[in-house]
Chains A and B, each alone.
Chain A
Amino acid sequence: MSEVILSVKNLSVEYRVEEGIVKAVNDVSFDVKSGETLGLVGETGAGKTTIALSIMGLLPVPPAVVTQGEILFEGENILAANEKYLRTLRGNKISMIFQDPMSALNPSTYVGDQISEVIMLHNKVSKDKAREMAEECLEMVGIPKNRYAEYPHKFSGGMKQRVIIAIALACNPNLLIADEPTTALDVTIQAQILELMEQLKEKKGTSNILITHDLGVIAKMCDRVAVIYAGEIVEMGTLRQVFKNTAHPYTKGLFDALPGNSLSGKRLKPIKGSMPDPTSLPENCKFANRCFNKSDKCDQRIKLVDIGDGHLVRCVSPLCSEGVKSH
Chain B
Amino acid sequence: MSVILKVENLKKYFDVQGGKLHAVDGISFSINEGETFGIVGESGCGKSTLGRTIIHLYQPTSGKIIFENKDITFISKKECRELLRKMQFIFQDPYSSLNPRMTVIDIIMEPLLIDGMKRKDARQRASELMEMVGLSKMFETSYPHELDGGRRQRIGIARALALEPKFIICDEPVSALDVSIQAQILNLMLELQEKLKLTYIFITHDLSVVKHISDRVMVMYLGQTVELAETQELFSNPVHPYTKALLSAVPSIDIDEQQKREILHGEIASPINPQPGCRFAARCKYSTSRCKTDDPQLVEIKPGHFVSCYNV
> Residues of A at under 8 Å CB distance from B?
15, 17-19, 41-46, 49, 99-100, 102-103, 139, 142-144, 146-147, 149-150, 154-159, 161-162, 180, 183-192, 195, 213-217, 219-220, 239-240, 243-244, 253-255, 257-260, 262, 266-271, 274, 277, 279
Contact = CB atoms under 8 A, between A and B. Distances in A.
A144 B18 CA distance: 13
Contacts of A217: 251
21 contacts: A19-B138, A44-B148, A45-B150, A102-B96, A155-B44, A156-B44, A158-B43, A158-B205, A183-B176, A187-B246, A188-B245, A188-B246, A195-B263, A213-B179, A219-B251, A254-B179, A258-B179, A258-B253, A259-B211, A260-B211, A279-B138
A266 B148 contact: no
B312 interface: no
Contacts of A189: 42-43
B308 interface: no
Contacts of A271: 180
B43 A186 contact: yes
A15 to B, nearest CB: 8
Interface centre among B43, B95, B181 (most CB of A within 10 A): B43
Nearest to B246: A188
Given A142-B43, A184-B175, A268-B186, 19 more contacts: A19-B141, A44-B149, A144-B268, A144-B270, A154-B14, A180-B149, A183-B175, A184-B92, A186-B42, A186-B246, A187-B205, A188-B246, A188-B249, A188-B262, A190-B205, A259-B183, A267-B190, A270-B183, A271-B180
Contacts of A258: 179, 183, 208, 253
A63 B271 CA distance: 44
Nearest to B247: A187
Contacts of B249: 187-188, 190-191
A258 B148 CA distance: 21
A150 B151 CA distance: 31
Nearest to A260: B208
Contact of A213 (B177, B212, B253, B270): B177
A146 B18 contact: yes
